[in-house]
Amino acid sequence: MKDVITIKEIARQLNVSPSTVSRALQNHPRISSHTRDAVHALAGQLKYLPSTTARNLQRGRTGVIGMVLPEIRENFFSEVINGVEELAFEHHMTVALYQSHDRFDREKQILTMLASNRVDGVLLSVAKETQQIHHIQELQDRQIPLVLFDRIPPHIAAHQVECNMEKGAYEATKWLARRGHRRIALLNGPHALIASEERYRGYITALVEEGLPVENCLIKRSDLTTSETVLKMSQLLSSVTRPDAVLAFNDYVALDAMRVCRSYGLVVNRDVAFVSFANLPLNTYLEHPPLASVEQHPYQIGFMAADILLKVINGKIDPENLQKVTLEPELIVREQSELV
């Protein structure tokens, strides 16, 4: 590899000081036009690139945003990343991406590492195992700007960006009820996720308003793995009070549950109707996708979370003036639902 061209090398060849070269590259008025032109010409000839790291360190920054999320393979989080990177790129910031893989210990280790590396700020969506928040509070105690998104633990004072999952579950359940379904099951996520509790509240409210009974046997919680989803869906189908519709935590859970239905000889969306969350693009390629899916606007969540974080980093938002953005969900109904 070729040696990296530095300001010192340009200064050596022109027989001037490094500070003179630095000022010339910034077109400082105290540098003569002759010296400025010579510096720019040699810098171009040597293909000199200014060190962003050095410039950031002079300002007491690293130019890096740490982003911690459960799983990049989930389309939802991939879209969140797109939103974050779009704005970070405009601001010449680097995004350091880490996956917790839904493990509390890994999430804790990542936050400690980001703090020790003195990143300029952190975007965090917590793991499903996370039930304690002391590691998040330690980050805040170090005065590292933090924005929580999507999976947000309760009882924590921090900037937040989310989608209204309670309203999404409410509208999805009402939609099923108004199509004549009377035994609507909820295939939910783990207790530790506040998003699970939001879905539960919206589901219960809609059932009560529609005059439908709230039956505990129709409410199942999964750790969101395929094996657990298969187990809980099998329990629902083996019950004497089998559901005629299912509201699933997300499209991935719905697809696993629909596979169980087929193994029981049932016709998906005729014998058991499905509605879920996430509105995955792959649903457009499926012969029998969920009848409807709640759009959570992941790109916008990422963009807005990055916007808040960058404003805090640049002093445009007081760190104590906590921002909370809640996007409105949209129930996306697919055309085939009219045929069921």
Q: pLDDT of 142-177, one tens digit each? A: 999 999 999 998 889 999 999 999 999 999 999 999
Place of tokens 């740490």: 66
- pLDDT given for residue 123 in this prediction: 98
Q: Is residue 57 a part of any domain in this protein?
A: no
Helices 251-263, 226-238: axis angle to 10 degrees equals 50
* Domain co-membership, 170 together with 291: yes
**pLDDT > 50? residue 101:** yes
Same domain, residue pair 73 and 106: yes
Count of CA atoms in the C-beta half-sphere (13 A) of 47: 3
Domain assignment of residue 323, yes or no:
yes
The counts of H helices and E strands in the chain are 12, 12
CATH number at residue 195: 3.40.50.2300
Please check whether residues 283 and 221 belong to one and the same domain: yes
**d(Cα 133, Cα 43) in Å, to the nearest integer?**
50
Q: Considering only CA atoms, which of 283, 296, 297, 281 is closest in space to residue 336?
A: 283
Residue 184 belongs to a domain: yes
Contacts of 219 (CB under 8 A, 6+ apart): 185, 186, 188, 200
Selection from 72, 71, 53, 50 nearest residue 120 by Cα: 53
- Residue 1 above 80 pLDDT? no
Q: Identify whether residues 67 and 186 lie together within a single domain.
A: no
Tell me, yes or no, whether 79 and 225 share the same domain.
Answer: no
**What is Dmax (Cα atoms) for the chain?**
90
| pLDDT surpassing 60 at residue 338 | no
Q: What are the φ and ψ backbone dihedral angles of 192, each rounded to 5 degrees? A: -65, -25
285 located within any domain: yes
Kindly state whether residues 131 and 234 are assigned to the same domain.
no
DSSP category for residue 268: B
Question: Is residue 131 situated within a structural domain?
Answer: yes
Predicted local confidence at residue 340, as pLDDT: 40
Q: Say if residue 200 is in the same domain as residue 158.
A: no
Does a structural domain hold residue 2? Answer: no
Domain shared by 72 and 138, yes or no:
yes
Per the structure, the count of domains in the chain is: 3
- Residue 287 burial by Cβ neighbours in a 10 Å radius (0-12, 13-18, 19+): exposed
Q: What is the pLDDT of residues 178-233, one digit of tens each?
A: 999 999 999 999 988 889 999 999 999 999 999 999 999 999 999 999 999 999 99
Q: Is the pLDDT of residue 293 over 70?
A: yes
Q: Rounded to whole angstroms, how far apart are CA atoms 267 and 75?
A: 27
Do 278 and 197 have their domain in common?
yes
Residue 56 in any domain: the answer is no
Taking the C-alpha atoms of residue 153 and residue 130, their distance in angstroms, rounded to an integer, is 8
Q: Which residues contact 96 (CB under 8 A, 6 or more apart)?
A: 64, 65, 66, 67, 114, 119
76-91: average pLDDT: 96
Same domain, 89 and 149: yes
Task: Assess whether 221 and 233 both reside in one domain.
Answer: yes
The pLDDT tens digits of the residues spanning 235-247 come to 999 998 899 999 9
- 275: domain range? 165-295+332-339
Give the closest residue to 246 by CA, choosing from 277, 223, 224: 277
Q: What is the mean pLDDT of residues 31-60?
A: 78
